[in-house]
Amino acid sequence: MDIQGKVALVAGATSGIGEATAIMFARRGASVMLSGRRENLLRSIVEKLRAEGHTAAYAACDVTNEEQVKNMIAFTEKTFDRLDFAYNNAGIMSDDVETADVSSAEFDRVINVNLRSMFLCMKYELKQMLKQGGEGYSIVNCSSIGGLIGMPGRVAYHASKHAVLGMTKCAALEYAARGIRINAVCPATIMTPMVENMMRTGAITKVIEPMGRIGTPEEVASCVLWLCSQGAGFVTGQGIAVDGGYTVQ
Catalytic residue annotation: 157
CA distances from 144 to 188, 191, 237, 248 (A): 6, 14, 15, 14
Q: Kindly write down the DSSP assignment for every residue of 124-189, as one continuous string.
A: HHHHHHHHH-SS-EEEEEE--GGGTS--TTBHHHHHHHHHHHHHHHHHHHHHGGGTEEEEEEEE-S
CA pair distance 140, 135, nearest whole angstrom: 16
Contact 242, 186 (CB under 8 A): yes
DSSP state for residue 215 in the 8-state scheme: B
Exposure b/e, 96-131, CB count within 10 A at least 16 = b: eeeeeebeeeebeebbebbbbbbbbbbebbbebbee
Q: Is 32 exposed, middle or buried, given 0-12, 13-18 or 19+ CB atoms closer than 10 A? A: buried
CA pair distance 184, 193, nearest whole angstrom: 21
In the chain, alpha helices (H):
16-27, 39-51, 66-80, 104-111, 117-132, 155-175, 193-201, 217-228
